[in-house]
Amino acid sequence: MEIEEAKQHFIQSWGTLGSNWGVNRTMAQIHALLLVSNEPISTEDMMEQLQISRGNANMNTRTLIEWGIVTKTHVPGERKEFFQTDKDIWALARQVVKQRRQREIEPMLRVLQEVKDVEGKDKETKEFKELIENIDSFTQKADDLMDKFIRSDEHWFYRQLLKMV
Amino acid sequence: MEIEEAKQHFIQSWGTLGSNWGVNRTMAQIHALLLVSNEPISTEDMMEQLQISRGNANMNTRTLIEWGIVTKTHVPGERKEFFQTDKDIWALARQVVKQRRQREIEPMLRVLQEVKDVEGKDKETKEFKELIENIDSFTQKADDLMDKFIRSDEHWFYRQLLKMV
DNA sequence: TGAAACTTTCAGAAATAATTGAAAGTTGTT
DNA sequence: AACAACTTTCAATTATTTCTGAAAGTTTCA
């Protein structure tokens, strides 16, 4: 396989992976394109290489920036904006975990809290409370793990893995 | 808040959470309904409580069964099928992780493998190979962690968390 | 066997999400 | 200030996903 074909294949797969995780295909592809590019790339480049419209490129790039995984840069002599992403895959993973934690764990914990003080002493209510209690406990542990991951570095994570039986 | 309201609220939130994770809303709601039900429920029950069609209820229930998180049961004296889910939230999490691992990690590793032996000794190719190598290494570690989680029980997981600094 | 009870399927409809492209907005230069 | 270069916005369109409901299929039992 030659390099251009490989990059293309990678971009496609990254897009598919993204859409499985609730990230839109184009957004994941833009990210993949940035990953495989040696230099920062412009909106024009994205449009050409992914065959997408200016609006689409702009919107999805903005979302990537909001997620904190893409940054704007400038190329000397060029007036337009260029974009780049951190090639450190651990940094990327940390950033994504951080986003999802904030965006999903926190709302979930809030709902569980709201629902927790349901009135009643009957069996049905007790069982419901127990379920909510279990989900809450699980969610908090997941939250704790994510928090540790976000604060960690690659080596820490690797050591933790080794420590596990 | 009284019990029916609380259950309703929970079902809605579970639906939203699901759709953030690439699980369709109805599927997540059916699952939530099973979680909060004290007895197994029938397709009719789902249709009525979630206000959905028979086809929709049937299809999504089937997918939940394929995912291994819902099972069929029978209620004595009743001819129709009933469904139930494991209320153990850890068992549920393990099952979901198992599915996603099989469905996403494996294909990703295959793509990385394909793309890894790209030809060329130039800088561009070298950098690409390095990127792929890093993603591959990360993915394998994630795979390893998932594998450990799948084989674990709640207490094991809790102990691992405590061991982490 | 036949017919009621129940389940599954799937083509079309409806809902939702993603994308386009052109106009409006902004920034920098002369 | 006027213009060119560039970015952003958003209404309209297109694509994708989900849902419906009725017909076909299956099971159970008298």
Which residues from the 114-153 window of protein chain B have CB within 7 angstroms of nucleic acid chain C? none
Predicted local distance difference test score (pLDDT) of residue A21: 81
State the first-to-last Cα distance of chain B, in angstroms, to the nearest integer.
39
B69 with B93, same domain?
Answer: no
A72 with A38, same domain?
Answer: yes
Question: Last residue of some domain: A85, A100, A122?
Answer: A85
Q: For residue A118, give every residue at least 6 positions away whose Cβ sits within 8 Å of its Cβ, in sequence order, or none.
A: A125, A128, A129, B1, B2, B3, B5, B6
The CATH number linked to B72 is: 1.10.10.10
A111 with A76, same domain?
Answer: no
pLDDT of A61 higher than 90: yes
CA torsion angle for A19, A60, A35, B114 (degrees, to 10)?
30
Domain that holds residue B156: 89-163
A45 with A57, same domain?
Answer: yes
The Cα diameter of chain B in Å comes to: 73
What is the C-alpha to C-alpha distance for residues B129 and A98, in angstroms, rounded to an integer? 27
pLDDT one-digit tens code per residue, A95-132 = 999 988 988 899 899 999 999 999 999 999 999 999 99
A81 with A106, same domain?
Answer: no
A8 with A78, same domain?
Answer: yes
CB-CB neighbors (< 8 A) of A158 in chain B: 141
pLDDT of A58 higher than 80: yes
Residue A111 to residue B13, Cβ atoms within 8 A: yes
Averaged pLDDT, A119-148: 94
Q: Angle at Cα A45 formed by Cα A42 and Cα A46, nearest 5°?
A: 95
Torsion sign across C-alpha atoms B108, B109, B114, B116 = positive
Report which of A93, A151, A54, A128 is spatially closest to residue B35, judged by C-alpha positions: A128
B97 with B79, same domain?
Answer: no
pLDDT one-digit tens code per residue, B133-154 = 999 999 999 999 999 999 999 8
Among A5, A9, A10, A140, most B C-beta atoms within 10 A, so best to mutate, is: A10
B81 with B149, same domain?
Answer: no
Q: pLDDT band at residue A140, thresholds of 50, 70 and 90?
A: very high
What is the C-alpha to C-alpha distance for residues B5 and B25, in angstroms, rounded to an integer? 19
B23 with B46, same domain?
Answer: yes
